[in-house]
Structure 1
Amino acid sequence: MGENPSVIATTSPSDAILLGAVDIALAALLEQVDKVDVGPALGAVQEGDHVATHAFDCLRAGYRGWKWSVTVARAEGQDLVTIDEVVLLPGEDAIIAPQWVPYKDRIRPGDLSPGDLLPVEDDDPRLVPTYSFGDDPLSADDKAQIRQVAQDLGLGRVRTLSVEGRELAAQRWYDGDGGPEAPVAQSAPAKCTSCGFLVRLAGPLSEVFGVCANGNANDDGRVVSFDHGCGAHSEVQLSRKQQPLPPADHAFDTLTSDEFEQL
């Protein structure tokens, strides 16, 4: 482990003293890390004038692809090598945690429990103020004033779906389990548009969607597209070969006990 590792060239003048300080870097590393967790030297990189970093393979369980990084430095005109820092860094093949995703982007239907709150931001593009008009964006003060007036007058909802919010919901529903591409719809004998259990909606979404009201269907109480379908369609009929066989005629046992004993 004391052999000179490969050197990665930089635009700074080569510092042979720092690039050759493998043993010094290793000694500093072993002061903080168990020897069994340290592998061979992987090379050295000159970070700038009088600063270089030595890398060592990490053998610690659970850290495959990681490397120990030891940064060394020296003062101008001095040969004394000092230690700047010792850290553990991920390599190209390292197993690392996935990129952070804000909680509001991780929430999925069914994640909320009783008592959980999921606030909606004032500038959420899916919503627009119900009691405002015009295309000009509203300031935070204007939005707060509209909310207060709506609350004082008891006018109902402060915000309603924007065109973008409506289109996002429609696309999500159409692509989901209540749309035409669902496996149950692909094998359905007829579409929801002709089903007697379909409850029509009001508003712009009524042209594409309804709500299933068949208590025996998988989609009962859910939004379905008109071109969705399932086997519980109101007009579905079984073919003759699919109908259950009628029960056989009753058989009357006329065998007496005396006749039974003679058998």
Structure 2
Amino acid sequence: MRAGKPDSTLVKAVDVARGIVLEVAEPSEVGEHLGAHAEGERVVTHQFACERPGYPGWYWSVTLTRAKRGKDLTVNEVVLLPGDDAIVAPAWVPYKERLQPGDLSPGDLLPVEDEDPRLVPTYLVGDDPLDEPLDGDARAQVRRVAEDLGLGRIRTLSREGIDMAAERWYAGPAGPESPLAKSAPDTCTTCGFLLRINGSLSESFGVCANGNANDDGKVVSLDHGCGAHSEVKLARKQQPLPMPDHAFDTLTDDEYERI
């Protein structure tokens, strides 16, 4: 129902609305009257500032109504609502979507959905994804086929899964845009500590095997780099100063006493 002109009787009932709020709040928690607006025919909502500690920007909302030609007012609801400047909790995000790398602890489990687009049945690698999701019986059959063929893994990365991993790695701290890479003397392509990998990602990524580098044991893009490059050389002015020759103390106890 469209809200028309506010009912004058309900609009004037500011004291009644305030009294309703005072039934659920302390007098010190109810501030000035902020206004009233029509919600529908003979339905008006009054708003009062909220002075309750910890609720800046919130307001009390009281909705009143009355019957046609009736003088008695009825309370529809009284609630505390957030305003535009109110501090509210962020939008709820499912637990699975809140997980970040490093959140898993020993013993934690993170199941992967059967229809995860990052994975495909092993025997489908290189083919187009299935048009329809597999039902329970079909998934069981895939597992049996994988075991019979000795494929080892029931599922493996799909083309989409590989692309997602490549984009994530390339845009991350082991990619070419990280501060470490931008200040490096050369790229990983020419580094002797780079371990080459097989497969479609071999043209873009490798694994760092320098135990002194930040990325040791991690996948790095070939155009990444760091100061631990195998061919890095220090300029002469960067060389450490040579240590002086050892000095041997030949003074005896008697000579110390004379000094």
SS at match of 1:55: strand
Aligned residue for 2:120?
A: 128
Aligned residue for 1:49?
A: 41
Q: For 1:195-215, what per-residue CA distance to the aligned partner results, in whole angstroms no more than 9, with x for missing partners?
A: 111111111111111111111
The structural deviation recorded for 1:160 is 1.6
Alignment of 1:1-263 (within 5 A): 11-132=3-124, 133-141=127-135, 142-151=138-147, 154-253=150-249, 255=251
Q: For 1:221-256, what per-residue CA distance to the aligned partner results, in whole angstroms no more than 9, with x for missing partners?
A: 111111111111111122222222222233344556
The structural deviation recorded for 1:14 is 3.1
SS at match of 1:140: coil
Amino acid at match of 1:220: D
Amino acid at match of 1:202: N
Q: 1:130 to 1:78 in 2, by over 3 A?
A: same
Count matched residues. 254
2:258, 2:20 → 1: CA distance? 104
Q: 1:257 to 1:137 in 2, by over 3 A?
A: same
Unmatched 5+ residue regions in structure 1? 1-9
- Root-mean-square deviation over aligned CA pairs: 2.0
The structural deviation recorded for 1:149 is 3.4
The structural deviation recorded for 1:186 is 1.5
Unmatched 5+ residue regions in structure 2? none
Kindly, what percent of the aligned residue pairs are identical?
63
Q: 1:195 to 1:50 in 2, by over 3 A?
A: same
SS at match of 1:17: helix
Amino acid at match of 1:232: A
SS at match of 1:44: strand
Stretches of 4+ aligned residues off by more than 6 angstroms: none
